[in-house]
Amino acid sequence: MRIAILTLPFNINYGGIIQNYALQTFLRQMGHEVETINLKKILLFKRYDVSFLSRMFGTGKSGSRKQVHKFINEHISLTAPFYNKKNFLRYDFSRFDAIVVGSDQVWRLRYAYPDIYTYYLDFIKDEAFYGKKIRKIAFSASFGIDEAEYTDEQRKLCAGYIKDFDLVTVREKSALRLINDVYGWRCSIPPIQMPDPTMLLGKDDYLRVSSHADDAADNGGLFCYILDMTDEKRSIIDRMAADLGVRPFTVRRRSHKWYASSDARMVPSPEEWLRAFSRASYIFTDSFHGSVFSLIFQKPFIAIGNRKRGLERFHSLFGKFGLDDRLIYDINGYTPDLMKKQIDWSGVAAIFDEDRKRAADCLSSVLY
């Protein structure tokens, strides 16, 4: 089948990019042809000098994000660009047999672009218009939070759209409660929980795609992947490095200053990011996907909950693997023995294997 994936616009978000790569790869392994809808946010200052903006913000091929764009162009199949809702309404989706929404926080209002209804496929017309049925699927879709945030009007409209989906799967257990109990939506078949797409591929898959990346600066050290750095997190890193007797390292641009050299402003590639997980001895992160890849690469790790970006996905992930004690919320939750505590990696691998089989069986039930 020919399948289109609709996810959030790409940004400098390694987890968001690689979850899309993983879902495309998984669907291809199942024998399907797959493209991702190339959704782009319009810059408000588009009328200004593009070459200057490229240098300043990395929006062009020679900008600071070129390594990220290179990965996307080489590893993710894209449609023509979509800039606004009109592009969705005018596009001929009859070339696809199915549209898959997900993963990531596609059903969270603050991230939905161009609007929340797009991620409930309001732009897909009926079977009579296309001359065939286009299957609608939500795969590992996420609200990002465990509280209701939709207005009454949004709830009513989305209820009408979601009942036409052929399959609804969500990433967090709390999303099942939101759909069934809080919003009271009725789906064609009951929604079920599915893993984040990054978990559908194995360590060897990610080693292959990152095999040509430069090694992390401090192989064997403490890899710190922190999205929202604070003084408290710096203190935890210092204590952790001292307790473990290793040097902390990260993978990030050396400067955010617009006047810095292009090399200093260069955003490391997704391949370099993956390589850091494979080379690290220990990992400390405040990222959901940072936690996922710590599990995939079987590295001792600790995560600090990131309230700003939503805690529910952390709770769902750590509860699934029985690793709740590795999720801390402040410096008081850290103890020197926590990182050294053994993880049952064979049990983790068994859960991954079971999830991949469940995902393949679930998708095959509607993609035929």
CATH label of the domain that carries residue 158: 3.40.50.2000
Q: How many domains does the chain have?
A: 2
Answer yes or no: is pLDDT of 350 > 80.
yes
Domain residue limits at 286: 212-349
Please indicate, yes or no, whether residues 114 and 22 belong to a single structural domain of this protein. Answer: yes
| Listed range (16-30, 264-278, 295-309, 344-358) with the worst mean pLDDT | 264-278
pLDDT band at 41 (very low <50, low <70, confident <90, very high): confident
Predicted pLDDT of residue 304: 97
pLDDT band at 251 (very low <50, low <70, confident <90, very high): confident
- Per DSSP, the three-state class of 100 is strand
Separation between Cα atoms, residue 29 and residue 47, nearest integer Å: 43
Answer yes or no: is pLDDT of 213 > 90.
no
User: Is 77 a domain residue?
Assistant: yes
Identify the H or E element spanning 175.
helix 173-177
Answer yes or no: is pLDDT of 198 > 90.
yes
Predicted pLDDT of residue 163: 97
Please indicate, yes or no, whether residues 24 and 143 belong to a single structural domain of this protein. Answer: yes
Please indicate, yes or no, whether residues 70 and 177 belong to a single structural domain of this protein. Answer: yes
The pair of three-digit structure tokens given for residue 27, joined into one six-digit string: 């669907």
Answer yes or no: is pLDDT of 5 > 60.
yes
- CA end-to-end span of the chain: 7
pLDDT (average), residues 147-172: 97
* DSSP code at position 4: E
Predicted pLDDT of residue 24: 98
The pair of three-digit structure tokens given for residue 5, joined into one six-digit string: 């994936």
User: Is 207 a domain residue?
Assistant: no
Please indicate, yes or no, whether residues 152 and 13 belong to a single structural domain of this protein. Answer: yes
Please indicate, yes or no, whether residues 159 and 99 belong to a single structural domain of this protein. Answer: yes
Predicted pLDDT of residue 44: 55
Strand ordering across the sheet containing 192-193:
78-82, 33-39, 2-6, 98-101, 135-141, 167-170, 192-193
| Listed range (53-67, 209-223, 245-259) with the worst mean pLDDT | 53-67
pTM to 2 decimal places: 0.90
Predicted pLDDT of residue 307: 83
The pair of three-digit structure tokens given for residue 314, joined into one six-digit string: 């952390």
Neighbour count for residue 11 (Cβ, 10 Å):
12
- Per DSSP, the three-state class of 188 is coil
User: Is 360 a domain residue?
Assistant: yes
The per-residue DSSP string of 280-310 comes to -SEEEES-HHHHHHHHHTT--EEEE--GGG-
Angle (CA) 243-245-250 rounded to 5° is 95
CB neighbour class for 259 (10 Å; exposed up to 12, middle 13-18, buried from 19): exposed
| Listed range (45-59, 137-151, 271-285) with the worst mean pLDDT | 45-59
Separation between Cα atoms, residue 315 and residue 194, nearest integer Å: 15
Separation between Cα atoms, residue 311 and residue 330, nearest integer Å: 13
CATH number at residue 309: 3.40.50
Tell which residue, 143, 98, 105, 144, has the closest CA to residue 121. 98
Please indicate, yes or no, whether residues 26 and 141 belong to a single structural domain of this protein. Answer: yes
Higher pLDDT, 64 or 239: 239
Predicted pLDDT of residue 233: 97
Please indicate, yes or no, whether residues 15 and 111 belong to a single structural domain of this protein. Answer: yes
* Contact by Cβ (8 Å): 32, 75: no
pLDDT band at 220 (very low <50, low <70, confident <90, very high): confident
